[in-house]
Chain A
Amino acid sequence: MIPVTTHSTFAIDVPNRLLADARNGSMPAFERIYRLFERPVYTLALRLLGDRDEAQEILHDTMLKLFQNIDSYRGDSPFWGWLRQIAANESLMRLRKRARLAYVEDVPEPVEDEPSTLLPPAAADASRLVEAMQRLPDATRSVLWLYHAEGYTHEEIAGLMQRSVSFSKSQVARGTRRLRELLEVDEHAAA
């Protein structure tokens, strides 16, 4: 089974008939699936990559891969989870390409036992939150989004990113702390 959570923006049920039509190569079925998932795929790619042009390319590549390999969908987990996995893999592969061969493990920083998960009130403003997220390093932003917004576990993120569990944990801690600092600065500036 592919990791799934209930609150993901991808969590859209696809009728079996629609899937069957898509497997048979029906172009209208492909189009309907595309319309259903266009925004979730684009948003995931945009949050991970932080670049609209690259996110658009990932949307294209993910959908093409999806339709060309739809026969390999086993049906033992929700279809949207399978699609999300392809989108996440495509986005992370792009990030790795961006970093070239910088695949050596980072030295993880110590993680607090119970790190705070609260952000300043400014985080309620989506545009300010997204802007602050944009200012985080690629890997930190990606891990933070996969963990908190998509509900992946640290183990799943470690597998996706070909890193260790401690890497994922330290990125979440570091990202949350940095996001809090950025939004606090916003709060002070607005005061």
Chain B
Amino acid sequence: MQPPDRYNNAGREPVEIADALQRAPLEAPPQSVWPQLQVELSRSEQHLQARSARRHRHWLAMAATLLLAAAIPAFWLDQSSDTSNQQPVTASGDQPTATSTTTPSPDANELALLRQESAALEAWLATASDDTVISATGDGLREALTGRVQYVDALITDPQTSPNTQLPLWRERVLLLRRLASIESSEQLLAVSGDADDSQLVMAF
């Protein structure tokens, strides 16, 4: 469909939306965040060095954290496996209508459910995350898992990734997010229990 001719009155031309948006000037932040980043990067470097030096004393604490981390996913598995009451979802993620005549493939159903669970877990992590108290062990695991989630995200959005690998990638993403959720839950349990081991709990700021 071509644009209405009324745009041409007064000698002015219509504008392609992509051109118009790309021509919009870059914005500058009200203030540079570099000074803050510099401090945090330095602190992070010191934190990594200190953690490395104490690592051998933390094996017991790590085992306890992992035990908790292993227990919490059961909760999530129970939650996520209880999908029998959910509405089926098509490959495009749309709810099927009464006039639908095709049945979505099992893979498409699973992919849609994985995407839903992924978004739910991410939203939960975003709201439940407490950055004021971070344990040394949990922080390391969280960093590692977050890095793996980013790696999986890059593969998912890579146009060269085969459609056949989307399902295993989304399974991996959900698995990683469940682990992150379990760590978050463990952190909160430790914080609530008032664990006084200051080698295990450090204030982030």
Q: Which residues of A contact B (CB under 8 A)?
A: 1-3, 7, 9, 25, 27, 30-31, 34-35, 38-40, 42-43, 46, 52, 55-56, 59-60, 63-65, 67-69, 72, 82, 85-86, 89, 93-94, 96-97, 99-101, 103-105, 107-108, 112, 114-121, 123-124, 126, 129-130, 133, 144-145, 148-149, 153, 155-156, 159-160, 162-167, 176, 179
Contact = CB atoms under 8 A, between A and B. Distances in A.
Interface in B147-200: 147, 150-151, 153-154, 156-160
Interface of B: 1-3, 7, 12-18, 20-34, 36-38, 40-42, 44-45, 89, 91-95, 115-116, 118-120, 122-124, 126-127, 143, 147, 150-151, 153-154, 156-160
Contacts of B123: 96-97, 99-101, 103
Nearest to A60: B33
Nearest to B36: A60
Contacts of A145: 21
Given A72-B151, A100-B123, A55 B1 contact: no
A69 B92 contact: no
A32 to B, nearest CB: 10
28 contacts: A3-B157, A34-B34, A34-B37, A42-B26, A59-B33, A60-B36, A67-B41, A68-B143, A72-B150, A93-B126, A96-B119, A96-B122, A96-B126, A97-B127, A100-B127, A101-B123, A117-B16, A120-B15, A126-B20, A126-B25, A129-B24, A130-B24, A144-B21, A162-B118, A162-B119, A164-B91, A166-B93, A179-B17
